[in-house]
Structure 1
Amino acid sequence: MISQITALTRIPKEYVASVLLFVLLLIILRTSKNFIVQLLKKFAKKTTNEIDDMIVDAIERIPWFFYITLSVGIATKPLALPLWVDKGINYAITILIVFYAVRFVNNMISFFAEKQVAKQSESDKGEDTTFISIIGTITKIVVWVLAAIFLLDNFGIKVTPLIAGLGIGGIAVAFAFQNILEDLFSSFTIYFDKPFKHGDYIVIGSDSGTVEHIGLKTTRIRTLQGQELIVSNRELTSIRINNYKRMQKRRVVFNFGVVYDTPTEKLKKINKIVEKIISNNKNLELDRVHFKELGDFSLNFEVVYYINTREYKAYMDAQQEINFALKEEFEKEGIEFAYPTQSIILEK
């Protein structure tokens, strides 16, 4: 027993001081953590945003191992430890700090990505939010890569040749996957520029349909005939697109003809008849009515009006009502619609 006490008294004072400092730091860190968490929780209850709740959660999730390692690192600084031990402790502290910092940043990225998805879902229920999740994932990967480069640089590893090698390899990969990368970047152009979005009715060349999905490489369109049309994003960003969903109101032009036997007095009534028919529909706005031309077999009129909707079915319903009303009014006035005819003149 006496020999053990004698052995303990031979322990250098700096080691005893380091142990006491380690215990003291551990107590302080633990107490400070509890105090800060309780303080932040009280503050978080008074606010409506969720960022402070996320900060509290991030602090609470830091385990005991982190505080122990940090306390060991600080407490052993005054000691003359072997170089490999000192480096090992410093590396462990650096790795832990970077790890929890990256995890906090990634949680922030996930939080803002989820908020953006919820915001878009509320404002436009049909919009595809896949890109937000993809951008969030890519951003997280970039953060981890930057953290890895930072750690390697702190460990004394030269990262410049590594980055240069990755750059050369990236150029080779870019050439090998040129078309895929073009589609990928085109998809980001579509997302940020928004020439169309999920649910829009678009016309591209001779094809048309409703956008059902915007992916990383292709966009899928459901045509009026029912089949699925798959178009590369690269093609969609290099051609003209007519987006009928963005149309505020539809401009309609239609023509009709009456027979040449129609008296001039009745011809002059046709403008008033058309104006009356269109004015009776509150969704229609008349632009003009004109006796346009003397056709081969008919006296032709041209009518231009606007309908306050972009829906094709509503437009066809309105045009049908106009056609019925014209037929009815012309029957009352004794005006006949023209149809293709030929007159044969016989000479003796």
Structure 2
Amino acid sequence: MQLRAEEITERLSGEAESFAEGVEATITGIGAWVQDHAVEWSVGILAVAAIYFVLRILRGFLFGLLHRKKKSETTWQNILARVIRATKSLFLLLFAAAIVLPILVSLDEEQRQWMRWIFVIVIALQGAFWARVVITAFLERAASASSSHGDNSLDNALGLLNVFANVLVFAVAIVFIISNLGGDPTALIAGLGVGGIAIGLAAQSLFEDLFAGLSIILDKPFLRGDFIIFGDKMGTVQKVGLKSTRITTLQGQQLVVNNSKLLGYEINNYRRMAERRIVLRLGVTYDTPRDTLAAIPGGIRQIVEAQDRVRFDRCHLAGYGDYAILFELVFWVQDRDYAVYMDIQQDILLGVHALFERNKVTFAFPTQTLHIDSVPEGMKPGR
């Protein structure tokens, strides 16, 4: 037992001596390396620091020179200024090191390889930041242009579009980094594809509504302020969201409809009408004189043509009904607003009523006439 303890003690002592010799050799090697390369590395680090501070000053100067606060952030000049501002300080530092160190410092192949890898990572990420700024600026520019024409749908979706753009840009940057570091990006892409399928199946309804919202935003079957009819419902579009659309009905309540469900209907959009065609049928009683009947179409035409924003089409005696002589009036209201259409139709109907009063024409309504023949003398009751 005592012999076993002595063996363990000797082994531990030997390992301690080996570790101490290794540490001493490492320190000696570092000291020798510092002694041999201290001057050139000092000069290199000072040069890197100097160029780095110059680049930072140049970045601030160019941004201040190009940026215009009184102009839109989506002008070309301000977009370029935003790109300059998005240049990260770490990129400037590594850019300065990549320029200076290979010239002033003696680097072995392993050190050069490490520098190349680090620079690839940083330049890829910096490129992603630049691309993100440019894409965001173009999306903001497109949203601003749409808003100026009364379409706020793209502005509503700007947040989601920015998220999609950022994911795409940084995914490309990661694939670029893996590819340039000697890795195989296909495995990562396949993994992301499988993960995307799993997420898509788990949140299928959510993604259906999101993509339906993007479809509404890009295809524009209707815009904010449009009066639409879908299924048995109708109303004015108040907001096109990413998951749902909010519609104010004629009764005044707000109707929230999932985008995917809304696109499943045939949508009648009344805002897209340049004109609204109106067909009215009027009935007068059968005891109206023939000359009066012949004058009715001309009188109604004068009433219609006296209205603003109305184009007369025709007015004819259209047929004989069960209890009325029927006239058919067709005209076009040259305004898509529903309230304007109702006001014009009201004025025309009141004018027709006044015309009929002046000419003593009676509007027909459902009536029945009972004819009773006389009973022969021999068939009277009680005989």
TM-score by structure 1 length? 0.84
Where does residue 209 of structure 1 map in the other structure? 235
Query: 2:365 matched to 1:330?
Result: no
Indicate how the Cα distance of structure 1 residues 118 and 286 shifts in structure 2: closer, same or farther if over 3 A, else same: same
Matched, 1:237 2:256: no
Structure 1 equivalent of residue 118 of structure 2? 92
**1:71 has 2:113 as partner:** no
Unaligned runs of at least 5 residues, structure 1:
1-6
Q: Which moved more, 1:308-317 or 1:244-253?
A: 308-317
2:338 pairs with 294, 298, 312, which one?
Answer: 312
- List per-residue Cα deviations over 1:19-61 (Å, max 9, x = no partner): 545545654565577568767876778xx87333443454356
Tell me how far 1:249 sits from its aligned partner: 1.4
How much does 1:344 deviate? Answer: 0.8
Task: Tell me by how many angstroms 1:262 deviates.
Answer: 1.0
Aligned to 1:4: none
Q: Post-superposition shift, 1:254?
A: 0.6
- The residue correspondences of 1:99-138 to structure 2 (distance < 5 A) are 99-124=125-150, 127=153, 129-138=155-164
Q: How far, CA to CA, are the matches of 1:38 and 1:217 in structure 2? A: 44
For 1:175 and 1:22, the matched residues in 2 are separated by: 54
Structure 1 residue 308 displacement after superposition? 1.2
The question of 1:298 aligning with 2:333 is answered no
> Which amino acid in 2 is paired with 1:79?
S
Distance 1:137 1:103 in 2: 13
**Change over 3 Å in CA distance of 1:176–1:286 after alignment to 2:** same
Asked if 1:248 is matched to 2:280, the reply is no
Distance 1:346 1:166 in 2: 90
Deviations 1:192-216 (A, max 9, x none): 1111111211101111111122222
The alpha carbon displacement at 1:346 in A equals: 0.6
What is the CA–CA distance in structure 2 between the aligned matches of 1:206 and 1:80, rounded to whole Å?
A: 77
Q: Taking structure 1 as reference, are residues 189 and 53 closer, same or farther at Cα in structure 2, changes over 3 Å only?
A: closer
1:111-156 per-position Cα deviation (integer Å, ceiling 9, x unaligned): 2222222222222166562123321221012111221222233333
Q: Which residue of 2 aligns with 1:52?
A: 77
| Aligned-CA RMSD value | 3.1
SS of equivalent residue, structure 1 residue 345: coil
Structure 2: tracts of 5 or more residues without a match: 1-30, 375-383
Q: Residue 339 of structure 1 aligns with which residue?
A: 365
Q: 1:28 to 1:71 in 2, by over 3 A?
A: closer
Deviations 1:38-90 (A, max 9, x none): 67876778xx873334434543564655444333344444634483x545433
Aligned equivalents of 1:28, 1:120: Cα separation in 2: 44
- Distance between the aligned counterparts of 1:58 and 1:128, measured in 2? 23
User: Number of residues paired by the alignment?
Assistant: 338
> Where does residue 147 of structure 1 map in the other structure?
173
Decide whether the 8 Å contact of 1:127 with 1:199 is kept in 2: no
Q: Aligned AA for 2:141?
A: K
Q: Is the 8 A contact 2:86 2:130 kept in 1?
A: no
**Are 1:157 and 2:207 matched, yes or no?**
no
Q: Which residue of 2 aligns with 1:3?
A: none
CA distance in 1, matches of 2:275, 2:132: 45
Q: Percent identity?
A: 30
- Relative to structure 2, which stretch is displaced further, 226-235 or 237-246? 226-235
Contact 1:15 1:79 in 2 (8 A): no
- d(CA) in 1 for partners of 2:215 and 2:189? 27
Q: 2:292 aligns with which of 248, 252, 266?
A: 266
Q: 1:32 to 1:247 in 2, by over 3 A?
A: same
